[in-house]
Amino acid sequence: MRNDTGPAVDLAAGDLFTVRGRQLLQSITDVARAIFGAAASSIFILDDETGELRFEAVSGQGEEFLVGTRFAADTGIAGWVAASGEPLVVDDLATNPMFAHDLAAATRYIPQSLMAAPLIADEAVLGVLEVLDPVPQSRSSLGELDLLALFARQAAVALRVIAECRAARAEMERRPAAALDTVEAHGQLLDAFRDFLRTTSRP
């Protein structure tokens, strides 16, 4: 496991939409942790070039230092979810052979249970949303699993928008007028997602 403070989604430093997109991803992890009564929630980004997963947003345990940390994409539960494109609920990690205990120890928090869902956009896995030690009723309720999948879809769309903003920015350098509407539309979409999360997190 290594730490890399550079962005997984390679946008120029200080880009407005990078900042807004990351704020949205952080909001998703914050709300997911609160909704599921979990000890922590994380979004991992899959880097196809390096074959690694990267902590892009963290809420709860490890949020002070884990963002930017990378590990091999075939490691642990998150690696299995990224490879299979399937969600997974594990009630007892101590007995699960896929659980990467060494990796968990390196994050300074060893969970007992977790829920994980892939971030999928256009049939491609972009990363993984993981919730650590959710309250028991969250792990057994179909409605809660559907809610986790909803958060994962929102995160995937946010990542896709960030990537498209990168392309739009490059296009703007060539044809400013043609790309401006695309950039503005993506900014409005990110704002709409954040409004959705505010509504979801209300009691």
Of residues 202 and 94, the one with the higher pLDDT is: 94
Q: Residue 110's pLDDT is what?
A: 96
**pLDDT exceeds 80 at position 176:** no
For residue 65, what are the contacts with CB-CB under 8 A and spacing of at least 6? Answer: none
* Rounded Cα gap, residues 185 and 190, in angstroms: 9
**Which of 24-33, 43-52, 97-106, 130-139 comes out lowest in average pLDDT?**
130-139
Whole-structure pTM value: 0.76
Strand ranges in 52-182 using DSSP code E only, listed in sequence order: 52-60, 69-72, 88-90, 114-121, 124-132
Q: Which domains, and CATH codes, for the chain?
A: 2-201 (3.30.450.40)
Closest to 8 in 3D by CA, of 58, 61, 50 = 50
At 179, the pLDDT band (50, 70, 90 cuts) reads very low
104-128 tens-digit pLDDT: 999 999 999 999 999 998 889 999 9
* Rounded Cα gap, residues 118 and 129, in angstroms: 6
Of residues 163 and 52, the one with the higher pLDDT is: 52
